Structure 1
């Protein structure tokens, strides 16, 4: 693939994911501080090649990222991808459901941490409490 096309795909995909109502610091900035050429190569590969593949939609890809990061307990990176998911149209309910589903495999401590991260992201975006039925009375 020509480098100019790859650069454009990288910029377009990054803008869709990380240009939203809240400014999110993505790892690229940190990488750049240590090695700008490597940061560029990583960005072109991850955002330009992997994130812009068309087998999954960008929204589906973000649900996968949210699920994996929740299961791994990587809440700092999860925060970035929750913003990305919401920016590309994934609902907060879908994000929450993806997080709940990983509990069966990864345990509920990671679910609790991930839900707290989702709540914080929604608060940052001025979307907490959800207006579309986010909470009900507990059963117990």
Structure 2
């Protein structure tokens, strides 16, 4: 972890998932000290902020992977669908990404992913 990657991570995280680091800190840091900074630094500062792949494409990959992993990833999938929307993904692109995973994670995983997407879209519309 460097000050530079942590600062980048905080910028990306706050843009796409406002309050995420603070929520992680409150929930987990007493149990695993530094978890919130580690996730912010690594996931957002070192991975999402990397050059070489546009942020919106990184979200397509993330949404696909979380969908294929199945229902146990629902909370993270919803967070990343919302982040993907902020990174410029359309609802149709998200739905098609999730549906593509029916080939790899199975129909139940894809249906669960579509249900998660519908919840995020409903929250956007509210």
- The answer to whether TM tops 0.5 is yes
TM-score w.r.t. the length of structure 2 is 0.85
Partner SS for 1:53? coil
Q: Which moved more, 1:90-99 or 1:32-41?
A: 32-41
The CA distance in 1 between the partners of 2:63 and 2:5, in whole Å, is 25
Taking structure 1 as the reference length, what is the TM-score of the superposition?
Answer: 0.77
- 1:61 counterpart = 2:58: yes
Q: How does 1:1-140 map to 2 (within 5 A)?
A: 3-19=2-18, 28-29=24-25, 30-73=27-70, 74-126=73-125
The structure-2 alpha-carbon separation of the partners of 1:104 and 1:27, relative to structure 1 and needing over 3 Å to count, comes to: farther
Shift of 1:45: 1.5
- Give 1 or 2: higher helix fraction: 2
Contact preservation (8 Å) 1:28, 1:43: no
* Unaligned segments of structure 1, at least 5 residues: 128-140
Per-residue deviation at 1:35? 2.7
Tell me if the contact between 1:99 and 1:115 (Cα under 8 Å) persists in the aligned partners.
yes
Which protein shows a greater Rg?
Answer: 1
Q: Could you give the per-residue CA deviations for residues 52-82 of structure 1, whole angstroms, max 9, x where no partner exists?
A: 1112111110110000001111211100100
Partners of 1:26 and 1:64 lie apart in 2 by 25
- In the alignment of these two chains, the number of paired residues is 123
